[in-house]
Structure 1
Amino acid sequence: MHGHVEGRELSLLWALPLVGMLGSIAIFPLAAPHFWHHHYGKVSAFWALALLVPFAATQGFGAVASEVVHAALLEYVPFVILLFSLFTISGGLLVRGNIHGSPAVNTTMLALGTTLASVIGTTGASMVLIRPLLRANDNRRHNAHVVVFFIFLVSNIGGSLTPLGDPPLFLGFLQGVEFFWTARHVSIETAILVAILLPLFFALDHWFYKREGYPPKPDPTPDSALGLSGLVNIPLLGGVVAAILMSGVWKPGVEFDILGTHVPLQALVRDGLLLALAGASLALTPKDIRERNGFDWEPIREVAKLFAGIFSVLIPAILILKAGTDGYAAPLVALVSDEAGNPKPAMYFWATGLLSSVLDNAPTYLVFFNLAGGNAAELMTAKADTLAAISGGAVFMGALTYVGNAPNFMVLAIAKNRGVNMPGFFGYMAWSFGVLGPCFLLVTWLVFL
């Protein structure tokens, strides 16, 4: 038998490396950008070791190794492989040409990306459309707000309708939630947010557009006809959809025990297929298409290194939350339940959401999924409101910070690389809480109370 770390025995002090990791992500890019760009992987490794070494010394090497293997094999590795495949395949799709980034054009592109996000994932939609959107607005003096709303809608909210859309829903699918369940139960909340945010963006962009000043800034990429290259990647994206559906439908009952973690055969086949599809994209897509797309590996490299650290330092925080009323997270458990122990959907929405914005939304979704009972059949029926609240909170509020969802970081990296003066960690939060906070309060009032 492999050991297991008991969350009810863990002090909140074990969450300090997580605080350090998030603090580093917030501060270093602003205070020491050159250092961060060259050493973010080392910073991530430092905080992971700052947790794991004393954690193993006090809790036992075998028990901690078992927890690390569990987090890696069932959460981090599938998470990164899915992002990698979508990033690679979508990076082979080149939207040729350029159009002028007027308020109407920008709003149309955000609407298109929001729709695509649940089909090819928030990562796929973000990578396909962020570069054309940046080219359309590269002559605008005020364009950071375009990227901010892109992160709100395309990188997060648009991915709320299928397991392909966002990693938390993918993890829910692996737990037994039906593929189209969220499309049926979270669509109203999504529609409310989109109906508010798209017109709000149009009004704001129109206001900035009128204040661009004269003479206009020279356009480094003049307007030209639109087209689409790299069409071979479209069926490959279909293959990603098929691989994920396969892993939810095919249950051969074969598992591999790795340090106490049971890895099902269908998960290994799925991940192998996703890597093969990414490899096919690299082999079949002409190199000049990726070059013209400005494709490079840095965004996915940054996500992989930083989230390796985040998933590591998350381990004790997740264990404390899983301990429920027996651990130091007991006040949080009491917060999301009434006196009879029944879940309060509104509180689940906010607790899942706010923690998702700083703890990464995929593992946080799993914690509250388990906190609400962990039985997919029950959560999809008798506790449907609670599962909808957990799903909406994890997906929507991943937009509140740059670390809430992996595509946020990718879009930020690409935008900064293209010269957009993006807000810093806390500056972005001023935008997100100022714009999205009232929207989430309205959704709570209309749906979850």
Structure 2
Amino acid sequence: MFATLPLLCHTAATLSKGMEHSLPTDGSLMTPSFWLAIPFIALLLMIATGPLFFAGFWHKHYAKVAILLATFVMAYYCIVLENKIKPIEAAAEYIQFMALITALYMATGGISIKVATRATPLANILLLFIGALFANLIGTTGASMLFIRPYLGLNKGRIKVYHIVFFIFIVSNIGGALTPIGDPPLFLGFLKGVPFEWTLIHNSLPWCIALLMLLSIFYFFERNNRPLSTPNQVMLDGRSGIVSIAGSKNLIWLVIVIGGVFLDPTIFPWLPTIDYHGHTISFVRELIMLTVATLSYYSANKAVLLSNGFSFAPLNEVCLIFIGIFGTMIPALELIGKFAASEVGKQLITPTTLYWGTGLFSSVLDNAPTYLNFVAASMAAQGADIEVVANVQAYAAGAIYPDSVTRLSAIALASVFFGAMTYIGNGPNFMVKAIAEQAGIAMPPFGNYIFRFSMPILLPILFVIWFFFFAS
């Protein structure tokens, strides 16, 4: 996160030198000034330091701060730059993001999974591994919401901060790298023309290595945490080792949500859309998801909601914080994209720079547009166009463009894996943190999470993945 400022400075300086005489008079196409990224950087710094240094003010006013900064940036685009397209695109992406998050949160909130077994290292490792597999079937958000409560229940009375951190690492992020359903950037790649099975073929080995290393480290934390003498859950018919599911009818709503993900005009051109200055904005999928969210909540078993400790507080927090992130990240992403497409940027594009560059910005920005920006820049550097499906398919196949498979794999893995570096790197991170805090777990502040867990545990694993797959 703290490397973002100098990188944006370098980006802005390069752009100003190379484009100062080529800026069009049409304000809608102007490159934003560097200072316009300051609200985004300020918001990140406040998220990192607020809960630690001015907790009272932050918890009371964080929503106002996020909305105010987002409003300033979007108003500047609309009024000064006369560019309404970027703010509307950001608003549409935010609605799509929140519609999916809301639908999954509501649908899974009415499902209660209980495991009648002792909280041993093996039981936790198995649950985390199953969660990682499910992340590829119902997305990292769906898997996080479905498994975090049984995970908390299994470890009741012995829960530690590291339990939640490893859950975020494994289930909320790295687990979803094998299919386009797993994480939004991979799904966007699929919509652009990357074959559905591509991620499974090319990401499986790095996925296995990263997961094995994380679970091994988790074991060393867990082996010193004494298991309870009796199972945490009530025995079913006097037997242990039994999994019970209550509220199973909500699984139907969950299936509808996952199916609704594919209702995109890129896949189904007959879907009605809103056309704004050549930009296609979908709304059918979002309406379906918000409808499912409402119906799943009102049709859910109230006893299950109560046993899950269901509350709208985690959803509200994610909703408000990400208003600020989506609103203020517009100039930051635009500066990154312009720099990557410049001559200097093209010369710097290698699998290594794509891996670490995508990873850095996926840690603090929404990883979906970050993925698209870096794929577009990587393809443009080799004369390919991300808007041409045949170009994307050829790029993914590796038959025409040198190193294209390695480059695409570096971007795909980094956009998913690095999302675990911060709380805001991926949507479910903040949600899991909020649910854990609601359960009475004192989660580390933003900076503490990075320096205590992400950097000493996750960063070396990310380095290993780079060294073996992209360094040469």
Q: Does 1:427 align with 2:432?
A: no
Q: 1:107 to 1:11 in 2, by over 3 A?
A: same
Are 2:121 and 1:103 aligned?
yes
The Cα of 1:279 is off from its aligned counterpart by: 3.0
> Per the alignment, do residues 15 and 378 of structure 1 end up closer, same or farther by CA in structure 2, a change over 3 Å counting?
farther
Q: Residue 58 of structure 1 corresponds to which residue in structure 2?
A: 80
1:122 paired to 2:144: no
SS at the partner of 1:95? Answer: strand
Trace 1:387-426 onto structure 2 (pairs within 5 A): 387-426=408-447
Asked if structure 2 preserves the Cα contact closer than 8 Å seen for 1:379 and 1:386, the reply is: no
CA contact (8 A) 1:155 1:407 kept: yes
The correspondence for 1:376, drawn from 370, 374, 392, is 392
Q: Counterpart of 1:6 in structure 2: which amino acid?
A: L
Given the alignment of the two structures, is residue 244 of structure 1 paired with residue 266 of structure 2, yes or no?
no
The structure 2 residue matched to 1:184, chosen from 201, 204, 210, is 201
Instruction: Report what 2:48 is aligned to.
Output: 26
Moved more, 346-355 or 283-292: 283-292
Report the Cα offset of residue 125 of structure 1.
0.9
Residue 298 (str. 1) matches residue 313 (str. 2)? yes
- 1:10 has 2:32 as partner: yes
Cα deviation code 1:99-145 (max 9, x no counterpart): 442212211111111111111111111111111212222312x6111
Contact 1:149–1:201 under 8 Å retained in 2: yes
TM-score (norm 2): 0.83
Superposed, 1:135-150 pairs within 5 Å as 135-140=153-158, 143-150=160-167
The 5 Å alignment of 1:158-173 reads 158-173=175-190
Alpha-carbon separation, structure 2, partners of 1:321 and 1:399: 21
CA offsets, 1:306-362, max 9 Å, x none?
1121111111111112223676xx765543x2xxxxxx2222111101111012212
- Larger deviation, residues 174-183 vs 359-368: 174-183
2:334 corresponds to 1:319:
yes
The equivalent position to 2:108 in structure 1, one of 84, 90, 101, is 90
Aligned-partner Cα distance in 1 for 2:345–2:458 = 23
Deviation (angstroms), 1:222:
5.7
AA of the residue aligned to 1:319: E
Separation in 1, partners of 2:210, 2:340: 34
Aligned partner of residue 403 in structure 1, secondary structure:
coil
Find the residue that maps to 2:280 and give its secondary structure.
Answer: strand
1:305 deviates by 1.5
1:235 is paired with a residue whose SS is helix
- One of 218, 227, 251 as aligned partner of 1:201: 218
Q: Distance in 1 between matches of 2:205 and 2:340?
A: 32
1:371 deviation in Å? 1.2
- Cα 1:51–1:14 change in 2 (3 A) is same
> Residue 337 of structure 2 contacts residue 377 of structure 2 at CA under 8 Å; is this kept in 1?
yes
Q: Residue 90 of structure 2: which of 68, 71, 83 is its match?
A: 71
- Contact 1:125–1:154 (Cα < 8 Å) also in 2: yes
Matched residue count: 423
The separation in 2 between residues aligned to 1:35 and 1:72, in whole angstroms, is: 27
Deviates more, 1:356-365 or 1:391-400: 356-365
Matched, 1:43 2:65: yes
Structure 1 residues 222 and 241, CA gap change in structure 2 (3 angstroms): closer
Deviation at 1:294, TM superposition (A): 1.0
Shift of 1:32: 3.1
Distance 1:98 1:370, change over 3 A: same
Distance 2:116 2:50 in 1: 34
Structure 1 residues 76, 333: closer, same or farther in 2, change over 3 A? farther
Q: Secondary structure at the match of 2:443?
A: coil
Q: Which amino acid aligns with 1:377?
A: Q
- Deviation of 1:269 after TM superposition, in Å, equals 2.5
Correspondence for 2:249 among 232, 256, 265? 232
Residue 410 of structure 1: how far off its partner (Å): 0.5
Amino acid at match of 2:359: G
The 10-residue stretch of structure 1 (437-446 or 174-183) with the greater mean CA deviation from structure 2: 174-183
Aligned to 2:286: 271
Task: Give, in angstroms, the shift of residue 436 of structure 1.
Answer: 1.4
SS at 1:228's partner residue?
strand
Q: Contact between 1:4 and 1:67, CA under 8 Å: does it hold in 2?
A: no
Question: 2:418 is paired with a residue of what secondary structure?
Answer: helix
Write out per-residue CA displacement over residues 39-91 of structure 1, whole angstroms, 9 at most, x where no aligned residue: 2211111211332344444312xx1x221112222x22211111111111111
Q: Distance in 1 between matches of 2:216 and 2:234?
A: 25
Relative to 1, partners in 2 of residues 1:4 and 1:149: Cα closer, same or farther, differing over 3 Å? farther
- Structure-2 separation of matches of 1:388 and 1:326: 19
Q: Which deviates the most, 300-309 or 239-248?
A: 239-248
Moved more, 373-382 or 432-441: 373-382
- Alpha-carbon contact 1:66-1:260 (below 8 Å) kept: no
Q: What letter is aligned with 1:269?
A: V
State the alpha-carbon separation in 2 of the partners of residues 259 and 240 from structure 1: 29
Query: How has the CA–CA distance of structure 1 residues 350 and 85 changed in structure 2, closer, same or farther, with 3 Å as cutoff?
Result: same
Mapped contact 1:6–1:319 kept (Cα < 8 A): no
The 3-state SS of whatever aligns with 1:402 is coil
| Equivalent residue number for residue 354 of structure 1 | 360
**1:325 and 1:334 in contact (8 A); partners too:** no
Hey, what's the Cα distance between the residues in 2 that align with 1:332 and 1:359? 19
Contact 2:273 2:283 in 1 (8 A): no
Distance between the aligned counterparts of 2:135 and 2:192, measured in 1? Answer: 22
Question: Which ranges in structure 2 are unaligned for 5 or more consecutive residues?
Answer: 1-25, 237-242, 380-385, 399-403
For residues 439 and 250 of structure 1, the distance between their equivalents in structure 2, rounded to whole angstroms, comes to 39
Per the normalisation by structure 1, the TM-score is 0.87
Report the 3-state secondary structure (helix = DSSP H, G, I; strand = E; otherwise coil) of the residue aligned with 2:262.
helix
